Structure 1
Amino acid sequence: MTKDVIALTRRMPDPATVLTGLLAGGPDTLAGFAGEGAVVQLCDELGRPLVSVEAPLLVQVEGEAERLLGATPPPVPFWWTEARATTGVPDAERLAGAFAARLVALAGGSAWPPEAARSLGVVRTDGVSVAPDPAAAAPAVDVLTDKVAVVIQDRPVVAMTAWLADAFRAAAEAGLGLQIVSPPGAALTPAVRDTLGGWPSRWVVRDKRDGYYDGRTGAVLRWQDGMFAPVGPGAATPTADAPGVPGAPGAPGAPGAPVAAAFQEVAATGGRQLTLTYRAVHPADERLVLGGGLEAVWRELTGEPPAGWGTAEPANLPWSPRRLTDVAYERAPGSTWFVVVGSPDRPGSATVRVRRTEAGVEEEVTLAFGYGADEEPPVDAVPRAAEVLATRHRLQSMLVQIRRARRDLAVPPCFEGPGAPLAFVLGAEEVRAMPGDRARRTPLSQAPVELGPKTRAALYYPLPGDPSDLSAWKDFELLVRHLKGA
């Protein structure tokens, strides 16, 4: 059943339009506020939320609704308004649909999913029960235990929405893991995959054959001791469904760590991804403009700049290093996280984390581009991109990989092989800091390539970069150990 309903409207939902939508619950349904006023909640008579509505977001980037929802939105710019129903309350889901339907009727546009927003009528909610506090206190969290916060996402692509970003922050501050439950066939964006981190956070996929499994490792899971955990030796068979998760069967304990059959059913697409992970350190100067290195790499590899950026998905703002810098400056000395996307015809996605440290202002960037079976990744352009970063944008280090994976960059709940290292790059300052000729004389068969002026050169270490031959990781490990003096 749908938990989220999204209105994609041509015009901004003004206060009168939002009020009309809120009255979908009838005059007896109360309104409350959360998130410093950014979230409006329809509540029952006890003040517990039935539906939480995020403030409308102006999307000015082509392709985001198609990428994240598979929906056709109005022409950009359009307004994206999310309503999230409290899990397990059918009337709440109908209420979210009626809210979205009213917004679309008054502001034009469409709703996702279409079947959830067909009725404009009042949804009577007398006598319903809702999620108890504290789970209801956080609109994105469906189940809360002393170990994890569980978020149920019935979307084709689980994205780093403002809801989910808030759930990640709240869980981290409380010392909890975050577990995302999705239906079979759903995918993650790279931003969500890279943020999930380690145990006990995980991606939980519902499955008819095995109950639940981890979408990144394939391990069969079950609900035990207040969280989803792998089936293993000595695990007791649960006696009840996972609380708050509709239709959660208990998977019996089994020796070993079985892998779900669905995870092993891999359909080759012929697609490949080129991934760059790098760090740059800039002096803390008021004239500093962030994002310049990312734009330079994007242009070298695609011939165009990024299309848009934001502090959550969808990326709603046209690409602007100056505006990105302003947001990071306003949030300093705290860190800032951004997502950056490319145009629909050239899939590209990046995450950027900006931190203020003793060394200066650090940019940590993970960037990926997708290519189809009939497209060749521009590996010949990688050294040029590395040189631009090293000579103009204070590159510290960079790892480049190539892997067999989907062109659209979405992360499926099945096995994807690891990438193979294509190159490693060491910035000029790091080269100069190494004793003697250590950086230039390595145990690799191929000598490094100098980037930039000889008096201040960075070094580019070529590696095989063949996804079918993972032995290149041994060369990479050997190189790193040598550079560290191990």
Structure 2
Amino acid sequence: MDDVTLAHPLVDAVGAGFVVHETDAAVVECSGERTGLLLEARRAGLVVVVLTPGSSRLTAAMSAMLRRTASSWVVRDVDRYRAAGSDVVADDVATAMLAPQTVTRSASLGPGAVPWVEALVAVHHPASDAATVGRTAELLLAGLADGGPDAWGTVEPATLAWSVAEVTAFTRRRAPRPTRLVAVAPTSGGIASVQVRVERSATGVTEETRLVLPRPVEAGALSTDDEVPTVLTDLARRQRVLLGTAWRTSGHSDATVSAHQLPLPVPLGAVVGAAAVRDLGIDPQTLPAGVQAVGPARVPSLTLDFTPEGMRSGAVLSRGADAEARWRRLAQLGDALGPRAVELLGFGDRR
């Protein structure tokens, strides 16, 4: 192996272009030390490999942080290694981290898994004293879980009592530097995870909110998540949404994922903000069924509902049939709005 130097206490091994952080924690959180390692490695042009036993789980925030920093999760199988999401077993970490994902994605739930709703929403705030941070998370949780965030912080575990005023004040003190926050919300189905990223833009401030909401259902029952497009529509009326997407996925009820889970994401709804509608040249007068205009008639925002037509009339589909029908519905609406809209929302990257 080539020598790689990165002075950090969590580095347990080095390789050609990567460093290894090994932990046997049952739940691997996005702690301050791990966040520091990932950011330092990215600045040094290195990839971090988080090496765990196969039984470990990652929090939603830690999993997202690995994706943002192009890092990898590898599990140890006795004296061999396997990348999370792959069945390919390798003799060394370097080979394992480069292995392609080979687990077949399925809409069915894996062992110990429950349905999730995942939402990613970016909103614009003007650069004014009236701008607040954290309201998007509150609105999403109020609409989907009848609750709100309980605690927040810059790393996990979140220990500060939730307050939009405090979150906003903290973000302003850090400006113009970007700010990343995590929050948690106890719900009837488990623990919801929220991640917020705030950064300056050319015309104000962009706040990106990522919500992972476990929603367990009774044995044998199906998740419908019919209210998700309605919640997105309400959000588009209340805030200046740039883009938003919502999906059904799965994981554990504490918003953690295992190395063996690779669910098929199922599209639930989306928002194309007014600025994107204008830039894409979408004519609001030619909208197909399933696309709703919200806001000023001249340049509205658009909310997309991927509920299959049959389900609108009360039909019940199996989990797999529901997933395929929603993907077909996305394709139909995507054809109507154009490939640039589909690319902008990132739908093509999720399957």
TM-score between the two structures when normalised by the length of structure 2: 0.79
1:199 to partner: Cα distance: 9.2
SS at match of 1:355: strand
Aligned to 2:39: 169
Residue 286 in 1 paired to residue 155 in 2?
Answer: no
Residue 194 in 1 paired to residue 194 in 2?
Answer: no
1:267 to partner: Cα distance: 4.3
**Structure 1 pair 133–405 and aligned structure 2 pair: CA distance change class (3 A):** closer
Aligned to 2:52: 182
**Structure 1 pair 218–315 and aligned structure 2 pair: CA distance change class (3 A):** farther
1:419 maps to amino acid: P
Aligned residues of 2:214 and 2:250 also touching (Cα < 8 A): no
1:276 to partner: Cα distance: 1.0
Residue 417 in 1 paired to residue 263 in 2?
Answer: yes
- State how far apart, in whole Å, the 1-side matches of 2:224 and 2:328 are: 24
Residue 331 in 1 paired to residue 179 in 2?
Answer: no
SS at match of 2:244: strand
Aligned to 2:286: 441
1:307 to partner: Cα distance: 0.8
Aligned to 2:198: 354
1:153 to partner: Cα distance: 1.5
Aligned to 2:138: 295
1:426 to partner: Cα distance: 1.7
- State how far apart, in whole Å, the 2-side matches of 1:306 and 1:378 are: 24
1:175 maps to amino acid: G
Percent identical pairs in the alignment equals 26
SS at match of 1:140: coil
Aligned residues of 1:274 and 1:377 also touching (Cα < 8 A): no
1:198 to partner: Cα distance: 7.7
- State how far apart, in whole Å, the 2-side matches of 1:320 and 1:343 are: 15
2:248 maps to amino acid: I
- State how far apart, in whole Å, the 2-side matches of 1:441 and 1:332 are: 41
1:215 maps to amino acid: A
1:284-317 deviation per Cα after TM superposition (whole angstroms, max 9, x unaligned): 2233111112111111112221111111000111
**Structure 1 pair 340–474 and aligned structure 2 pair: CA distance change class (3 A):** same
2:254 maps to amino acid: D
Aligned residues of 2:242 and 2:276 also touching (Cα < 8 A): yes
1:419 to partner: Cα distance: 1.3
Aligned to 1:371: 215
Residue 211 in 1 paired to residue 54 in 2?
Answer: no
- State how far apart, in whole Å, the 1-side matches of 2:280 and 2:4 are: 56
Q: Which runs of 5+ in 1 are unaligned?
A: 1-131, 233-256, 261-265
**Structure 1 pair 164–387 and aligned structure 2 pair: CA distance change class (3 A):** same
- State how far apart, in whole Å, the 2-side matches of 1:334 and 1:222 are: 42
Higher relative contact order by CA 8 Å / sep ≥ 6: 1 or 2? 2
SS at match of 1:470: helix
> Which of these residues, 3, 8, 17, is aligned with residue 147 of structure 1?
17
**Structure 1 pair 228–485 and aligned structure 2 pair: CA distance change class (3 A):** closer
Aligned to 1:395: 241
Q: Which runs of 5+ in 2 are unaligned?
A: 104-108, 309-316, 341-351
- State how far apart, in whole Å, the 1-side matches of 2:128 and 2:32 are: 30
Structure 1 segments (4+ residues) deviating >4 Å: 132-135, 257-260, 375-378, 452-456
SS at match of 1:272: strand
Aligned residues of 1:216 and 1:414 also touching (Cα < 8 A): yes
**Structure 1 pair 394–483 and aligned structure 2 pair: CA distance change class (3 A):** same
1:203 maps to amino acid: W
- State how far apart, in whole Å, the 1-side matches of 2:204 and 2:74 are: 38
> Which of these residues, 330, 335, 340, is aligned with residue 476 of structure 1?
330
RMSD (Å), alpha carbons: 3.2
Aligned residues of 2:117 and 2:212 also touching (Cα < 8 A): yes
Aligned residues of 2:118 and 2:210 also touching (Cα < 8 A): yes
**Structure 1 pair 171–477 and aligned structure 2 pair: CA distance change class (3 A):** farther
Q: Which has the larger radius of gyration?
A: 1
1:477 to partner: Cα distance: 4.9
1:350 to partner: Cα distance: 1.4
- State how far apart, in whole Å, the 2-side matches of 1:307 and 1:191 are: 16
